[in-house]
Structure 1
Amino acid sequence: MNVGVCYAQADRQIWLRLEVPEGSTIAEAIELSGVLTQYPEIDLESQKVGIFGKLAKLDAPVKEGDRVEIYRKITADPAQVQRRRVA
């Protein structure tokens, strides 16, 4: 199956396309992508993951064409950002 794995930092992003075996999980797709080696700061125990913007668990199966996303922790309070825009 062909899937994508995405991760974004504040200044750059990566989107890797790869083939995974049928029945692979999100965790397996992330591991096979090599993104954990490229970005050692990724901690799947604390960071959330999803498929096409919807949160999912690491053991959820992936389907053909899925885009697996690894989400960063929020570094700015959304309310504070809104107040700065208004000001």
Structure 2
Amino acid sequence: MSADSKHSDSIHVEVAYALPDKQAIVPLQVAQGTTAIDAVRRAGLDRQFEGLDIDNAKLGIFGKVVGPQQALREGDRVEVYRPLIADPKEVRKARAARVKERRKGDAPA
């Protein structure tokens, strides 16, 4: 096998994870057919971020959620998503209720 054919059997991808105060983007060269979860495991983010549960984390590629068995393509960036702290619908509902209360207090008597 020539060096060129060996090189063409691999692709370049990135694996990204971020906390509010720390982030990591790990460039990898992997074999074609590598899955999203395989790339995340290979990136070793669980060694850099204490408590990161790779096996149960949601994954995405460029902002679109994908399954762990999603095959990667050249240039893909696999993103490891953190669990939501609050349900976005509940946050919007609470914000709307606060605005309504404020308006009620501003209304002329």
Q: TM-score, normalised by structure 1?
A: 0.83
State which structure, 1 or 2, has the greater radius of gyration over its C-alpha atoms.
2
Report which stretch shifted further, 74-83 or 19-28.
74-83
Q: Which has the higher helix share?
A: 2
Structure 1 Cα separation of the partners of residues 21 and 33 of structure 2: 33
Q: TM-score, normalised by structure 2?
A: 0.68
Q: Which residue of 2 aligns with 1:44?
A: 54
Pick the aligned partner of 1:3 from 7, 10, 13.
13
SS at match of 2:46: helix
SS at match of 2:38: helix
SS at match of 1:29: helix
Paired positions, count: 87
Q: Report percent identity of matched pairs.
A: 38
Q: Which residue of 2 aligns with 1:80?
A: 91
Greater relative CO, 1 or 2 (CA 8 Å, sep 6+): 1
